Amino acid sequence: MAITIRPATAEDVPQILLFVQALATYEREPDAVTATEADLLRDGFGPNPFYFCLIADTNGHPAGFALYFFNYSTWLGRPGLYLEDLFVLPEYRGLGIGKALLQRVAAIAVERGCQRLQWEVLDWNTPAIDFYQAMGAEFMDTWRNVRMTGEALAKLAGVETHGAPPYPRPFAERVGDHAAGASNPFMAPKLDGPQ
């Protein structure tokens, strides 16, 4: 069985969304996905992508994916790579596809000069935990994941939402405004309080 790992293209967006939905179902949160094909297309395949994606094909059929983006370590003074999603469809598990995806992501991290490859795994997902331990992953049990979303994020940002989503325009459009000559509030924020 031939396994091919390739960069995703814009034409893969419907399949990427199917993978994301399947992963959410596997992780016991089938209704948590609100992303749309338009979101994935805009944020992954524009001039300044927020994420990158690899597709694993087996005999011409999409079998799994890895979605990642870059971050930065101030302690190391070097970039890192964050693996957001790694998923193989159940019927293709046990064929080495997950390992092949993870190896390719690791190779990309090394090629780009990254000093870290990081990801999260649910504490009940023992097959994944065992898989990652076998690959040599270190578990950072003393660190706690922190997340802020929705109203709490808007409140911290000083944005009044009145029940509406706190993000009136996609970030990419605001970046595009900056490219056209407008000031970019994300690159040079005013420090005199919320606007």
| Residue tagged active-site, from 72, 92, 132, 167 | 132
- φ, ψ of residue 84 to 5 degrees: the values are -75, -45
Q: What angle do CA 192, 151, 142 make, to 5 degrees?
A: 90
Cα atoms in the 13 Å half-sphere on the side-chain side of 21: 12
Q: Catalytic annotation on 72? A: no
Contact 118, 81 (CB under 8 A): yes
Catalytic residue numbers read 132
